[in-house]
Amino acid sequence: RTVYLNGEYLPEEEAKVSIFDRGFVMGDAVYEVTSVLEGKILEFEGHLARLARSMAELQMTGNLSREEWLEIHRQLIARNNLVDGMIYLQVSRGNAGDRDFHFPPAGTPPTIVLYTQSKPGLAEDPKAKTGIKVVSIPDLRWHRRDIKTVQLLYPSMAKMAAEAAGKHDAWFVEDGFVTEGSSNNTYIVKGGKIITRELSNDILHGITRASLLKYAAEAQMEIEERPFTIAEAQAADEAFFTSASAFVMPVVEVDGVALNGGAVGPVAKRLREIYLEEGR
């Protein structure tokens, strides 16, 4: 695999980052995950806009231009013959010497890493046909979840807890309400209405979420942006989540309670189809 590191295209085994890098030492880095289907990048502008916002919120400098990012994405797709898969992009604050809580001096170049991950048949994930099961877990993350940082230890722990419970994923709960999934935005459907938590610093502003809500509105579907509880999810007609890597993923069980008889519901199925049609 050919990867990108700070202006160079390198074989993956030659791409090396300093042990002093703040991404490594402090979790001081932001990232994006973007899907590629049949060689085409999905939601490129949305991911770039969010990256710029994440960097600005953390006073990180050294962002590249849209044209530079596009060229890197295109080069990686071409050099790796990527058809279906993902592009992982990470920008860390770099380093200027020994460990120090304070940010390095202005002008310290960031560390920029991108690599591709091939996932043949990504859009035909069999889990989308059967739906997935989730468990709830307290949301113990920091309170700037709108910034897409690489501080993913708690989401990793959540996924391990879900796996230990024999389920696919975890939904975070705070003050009695679902915030979002361990790596996705969450929705329930009741009486044909799509209910999803409104945007705030409590959740990541999903790129897939924004597009899906736009497509749903265009299809005359009713949308309500507000928090919901696990009990409400368990009493819902359907549930699903969205993310760049899973698109629209039906959820058929919440904390042991089956939704729609444990089968994928019509709204989630339709929204997945709409998203994949419109998004490509």
Nearest to 33 by CA among 79, 73, 80, 78: 73
> How far is Cα 94 from Cα 26, in angstroms, rounded to an integer?
10
DSSP 104: P
Catalytic residue among 119, 127, 129, 148: 148
> Contact between 272 and ligand PDD (CB under 6 A)?
no
Q: Which helix (H) or strand (E) holds 53?
A: helix 44-57
We find the least distance from the C-beta atom of residue 92 to ligand PDD, in angstroms, to be 16
Question: Is position 184 an interface residue for ligand PDD (rule: CB under 6 A)?
Answer: yes
User: Of residues 18-47, which lie at the interface with ligand PDD (CB under 6 A)?
Assistant: 33
Number of chain residues interacting with ligand PDD (CB under 6 A)? 14
CA–CA separation, 116 vs 81, rounded Å? 10
Using the minimum distance from each CB to ligand PDD, give the nearer residue, 136 or 208.
Answer: 208
Query: What are 195's strand-pairing partners?
Result: 188, 224
For position 204 contacting ligand PDD by CB under 6 A, the verdict is yes
Q: Per rule CB under 6 A, is residue 147 in the interface with ligand PDD? A: no
Contact predicate 197/179, CB 8 Å: yes
CB nearer to ligand PDD: pick between 95 and 132: 132
* 80 near ligand PDD, rule: CB under 6 A: no
- On the CB side of 14, CA atoms within 13 Å amount to 9
Q: How far apart are CA 152 and CA 33, in angstroms?
A: 14
Q: Which of 188, 244, 252, 268 binds ligand PDD (CB under 6 A)?
A: 244
Specify the 3-state DSSP secondary structure of 197: coil
Q: Does 242 bind ligand PDD (CB under 6 A)?
A: yes
Question: What single-letter amino acid sits at 232?
Answer: E
- Quick one: 95 or 187, whose CB is closer to ligand PDD? 187
3 state DSSP class of 230: helix
Taking the C-alpha atoms of residue 25 and residue 86, their distance in angstroms, rounded to an integer, is 26
The window from 64-72, 101-109, 114-122, 183-191 that contacts ligand PDD (CB under 6 A) reads 183-191
110 binds ligand PDD, rule: CB under 6 A: no
Closer Cβ to ligand PDD, 4 or 31, answer by number:
31
180 is a site residue for ligand PDD (CB under 6 A): yes
257: three-class secondary structure by DSSP: strand
Q: Which is nearer to ligand PDD, 77 or 213 (CB)?
A: 213
* 202 interacts with ligand PDD by CB under 6 A: no
Burial 40-50 (b: 16+ CB within 10 A, else e): ebbbbebbbeb
Query: Would you count residue 206 as binding ligand PDD (CB under 6 A)?
Result: yes
Nearer to ligand PDD, 95 or 114 (CB): 114
Q: Is 148 a catalytic residue?
A: yes
Residue 165 phi/psi, 5° resolution?
A: -85, 5
In the complex, the residues that contact ligand PDD under the rule CB under 6 A are 33, 180, 183-185, 204, 206-209, 242-245
List active site positions.
Answer: 148
